[in-house]
Amino acid sequence: MAEVVLLDFWGSPFGMRARIALAEKGVKYEYKEEHLLTGKKTPLLLETNPVHKKIPVLIHNGKPISESLVIVQYIEDAWSDTAPLLPADPYGRSQARFWADFVDKKIYDQGKKIWANKAGEVQEAGKKELMESLKLLEGELGEKPFFGGETIGYVDVALVPFYTWFYSFETIGNFSIEAECPKLIEWVKRCLERESVSKSLVDPEKVYVDLILVLKKMYGYE
């Protein structure tokens, strides 16, 4: 097995976080695709993440780490001599952790209310909640080029992968995220100028056609 292996799924925003962090640190790794849409989980996944049985899993010298933000913090700790994702001061670190945790608590579930439902109450609630969350994040970004300041940091890594799902939310929910959060979309574009991000994120239209629509069919969310 290679020294660093990432067990991942192409369309997962959580997996993209790990990809960006590894790229930022210049770490060479073996990417192993877990074909989630087949409904089958590989022995490697079940062995390396027996508790949650989910991707991403980072395997470093045979030792597995699960949970995307735990993985990103591990990458930060293990390759600490380059491209720091967290500021040096404890207060700055606590704020970065807070906002990454906020992204974790809100964005996926609120987005799911939109894509996994027909037009109606639940979908509308999802749209309202998602826009509230994104506006709060936009406020937190303020005038800084990135959440991390002059360069991308922990919160940027935690949030930017969800951009790949925005097109799906907007198409299914019939609304525009850019209209209400233009500064956030400008921030996304700045992030995409970095190779670590542009190489880690997938095409939003591919997410819509090959993932979201497929999931809707698979689970009967139509």
Partner 1 sequence: MASNNGDVKLIGAWASPYVMRPRIALNVKSVEYEFLQEQFGSKSELLLKSNPVHKKIPVLLHNGKPICESSIIVEYIDEVWSSGPSILPSDPYDRAVARFWAAYLDEKWFPNVRGAAAASSEEAKNAAVDQLKEGMALLEGAYVEISKGKDFFGGEKIGFIDIAFGSMLAWLRALQVMLGGVKLLDEEKTPGLCKWAAKFSADPAVKDVLPETEKIIEFAKLLVAKIKAAAASS
- Sites of contact with partner 1 (CB under 8 A): 51, 60, 63, 65-67, 70-71, 73-74, 77-78, 90-91, 93-95, 97-98, 101-102, 136
CA distance 58 to 64: 6
Of 101 and 203, CB closest to partner 1: 101
Residue 17: half-sphere exposure toward Cβ, Cα within 13 Å: 30
Of 99 and 165, CB closest to partner 1: 99
26, burial (CB in 10 Å: exposed 0-12, middle 13-18, buried 19+): exposed
Of 80 and 174, CB closest to partner 1: 80
Least CB distance to partner 1 at residue 67 (A):
6
Of 57 and 207, CB closest to partner 1: 57
- Strand segments, DSSP code E, in the chain are 4-8, 30-33, 57-60, 63-66
Least CB distance to partner 1 at residue 96 (A):
10
Chain-centre distance of CA 48, in angstroms?
Answer: 21
Least CB distance to partner 1 at residue 142 (A):
15
Least CB distance to partner 1 at residue 78 (A):
4
- Residue 31, classed as helix, strand or coil, is strand
């080029």: which residue's tokens?
Answer: 145
Least CB distance to partner 1 at residue 98 (A):
6
Q: What secondary structure, in 3-state letters, does 87-99 show?
A: CCCHHHHHHHHHH
Of 37 and 78, CB closest to partner 1: 78
Q: What residue spans of 79-162 are helical by DSSP H?
A: 90-115, 121-141, 154-159
